[in-house]
Amino acid sequence: MSLIEKTAAELLALQASGQATAAQIADAFLASIQAREPKVRAFMLVNEADVRKQAEAIDAKRKSGVKLGKLAGVPVAVKDVLCTQGMRTTCSSKMLEHFVPPYDAHVVERLRAEDAIILGKTNMDEFAMGSSTENSAYQKTTNPWDTTRIPGGSSGGSAACVAACEAPVSLGTDTGGSIRQPAALCGIVGVKPTYGRVSRYGLIAFASSLDQVGPFTHDVTDAALMMEVISGHDKRDATCVDAPVPEYTKTLNTPVSGLRIGIPKEFFDDGLDPEVGAIVEASLKQYEAMGAKRVPISLPNGSKLAVAVYYIVATAECSSNLARFDGMHYGHRTKQKADLIATYSKSRGEGFGKEVQRRIMLGTYALSSGFASKYYLKASKVRRVIKNEFDAAFEQCDVILGPTSPTPAFKFGEKTDNPLAMYLSDIYTISCNLAGIAGMSIPCGFTKANLPVGLQLLSPAFDEDRMFRIARMYEAATQWHTRRAVV
């Protein structure tokens, strides 16, 4: 197995034993990017000179005997919605085409503090609004397993670069499934942390009460390691919880005894692709073979109402958050001469793509006078009902399992003319964000067409430690996580 196919943990071990240097690892991934990017198109920006400079600095620290961080010499790709000091951050939008942040997002600070190498910025659906990465203003990222198909979204670039072995790990964001869904479609691990576990400081907001930053990795061990690095209290984010961060990697290989798996009947309805359903069922049987017990549960509101609630709450918050891009302070400003109001209108019309405009209009309507109580307030109340539903379910089980996505990766253009069909791609993931709980997707098999399928695990808030242990139980008994796409 070449360097680019290694996990982060394996790359750390190779450096510790003297079998590889940070510079050699960086060069290997830069070569992979150069060779594979013409087909994958996962990256918005890669600064080769800076990557090599970072690697050389880490090798120098190691040689001088200075204590190194948890991710020393590990290249990490970062979704282009996270601010990086001195490095362009566009949200894959024309609105921020020339924006260079003067500071790092909190999670990027944590990566640098642990001696990770910031490899570059990855493509995404514009302002994180989409499920296929077809909404980027610049390029369409492909799925490394089949480049005629989408990688998922909105963090498609972050998922694809790991699946294509252009980076060992990456960061994405999850507002309604934007980490878990592309992780499933690309055959890798993706984690959506509990809301408040990871600081959102420096994340350019889509929906502030839903957004969370999380990792993409090849296996659960790397996911646990990444979560140790990026989690923890940050006073700059008022929603970031001041709670100890467990050493996830220390307990990872301790199986959960007497495991009770909750199986929501609503996750296995007519909308689920039969082949995906069969693969997920085989995964559940694998857990049963390890002594787990199935517990039938029901999440009627979380399944039937989640999409409707999400597209009121998320679009309303999107409308509010994106109001700052007015052509005056920063971001795109029209070159057409106009008065104040016309400048606002033209700048936003030129800077935002169609999907972003659609969601802004939906959200503005939901918040408008006479409609806010009818839509946003009512949706907020139903959101609480969904949270209570999960709380009740977790009294009966330790984890909730099911498919991450109702289908494998679909072909480009297949759903672009039908927004509702695209929105339903996240039908199994959205309720997790509304409830603020933890979730992750792990690879659990492949279709006959060699397309990856993901198994979703949902756990109570701040119970990532047990969620990782349960995921690792399955991973240790299977080999799906060891497969690599051939690009």
3-state secondary structure the chain: CCHHHCCHHHHHHHHHCCCCCHHHHHHHHHHHHHHHHHHHCCEEECCHHHHHHHHHHHHHHHHHCCCCCCCCCCEEEEECCECECCECCCCCCHHHCCCCCCCCCHHHHHHHHCCCEEEEEECCCHHHCCCCCCCCCCCCCCECCECCECCCCCCHHHHHHHHCCCCCEEEEEECCCCCHHHHHHHCCEEEECCCCCECCCCECCCCCCCCEEEEEECCHHHHHHHHHHHECCCCCCCCCCCCCCCCHHHHCCCCCCCCEEEEEHHHHCCCCCHHHHHHHHHHHHHHHHCCCEEEEECCHHHHHCHHHHHHHHHHHHHHHHHHHCCCCCCCCCCCCCCCHHHHHHHHHHHHCCHHHHHHHHHHHHHHCCCCCHHHHHHHHHHHHHHHHHHHHHCCCCCEEEEECCCCCCCECCCCCCCHHHHHHHHCCCHHHHHHCCEEEEEEEEECCCCCEEEEEEEECCCCHHHHHHHHHHHHHHCCHHHCCCCC
What pLDDT was estimated at residue 160?
A: 98
Choice among 32, 154, 231, 303 that is catalytic: 154
Which tens digit of pLDDT belongs to each residue from 168-184? 999 999 999 999 999 99
Sheet holding 117-122, edge to edge: 43-45, 117-122, 75-79, 169-174, 212-217, 189-192, 438-446, 452-459, 399-403, 260-264, 293-297
What pLDDT was estimated at residue 303?
A: 86
Answer yes or no: 178 catalytic: yes
What pLDDT was estimated at residue 416?
A: 86
Q: What is the number of alpha carbons within 13 Å of residue 222 lying toward its C-beta?
A: 28
Q: What percent of the chain has pLDDT over 90?
A: 94
Answer yes or no: 131 catalytic: no
Q: What is the number of alpha carbons within 13 Å of residue 74 lying toward its C-beta?
A: 34
What pLDDT was estimated at residue 417?
A: 85
> 107 CB contacts (<8 Å, ≥6 apart)?
82, 171, 198, 199, 202, 203, 213, 230
Answer yes or no: 61 catalytic: no
Strand partners, 457: 401, 440
Q: Which of 314, 315, 317, 323 is nearest to 362 (CA)?
A: 315
What pLDDT was estimated at residue 237?
A: 98
Report yes or no: 216 and 179 within 8 Å, Cβ to Cβ. Answer: yes
Q: Tell me how far the alpha carbon of residue 16 is from its chain's centroid.
A: 29
**Is residue 1 over pLDDT 80?**
no
Choice among 32, 93, 155, 178 that is catalytic: 178
Q: How many whole angstroms separate alpha carbon 328 and alpha carbon 137? A: 21
Which tens digit of pLDDT belongs to each residue from 297-325? 999 988 899 999 999 999 999 999 999 99
Please state the rounded mean pLDDT for residues 337-348: 92
Which tens digit of pLDDT belongs to each residue from 215-242? 999 999 999 999 999 999 999 999 999 9
**Is residue 21 over pLDDT 80?**
yes
Q: What is the mean pLDDT of the chain?
A: 97
**Is residue 482 over pLDDT 90?**
yes
Residue for token pair 């996505």 = 405
Choice among 79, 192, 387, 415 that is catalytic: 79
The domains of the chain are located at 3-260+463-482, 306-372
- Please tell me the CATH superfamily of domain 3-260+463-482, with its number: Amidase signature (AS) domain (3.90.1300.10)
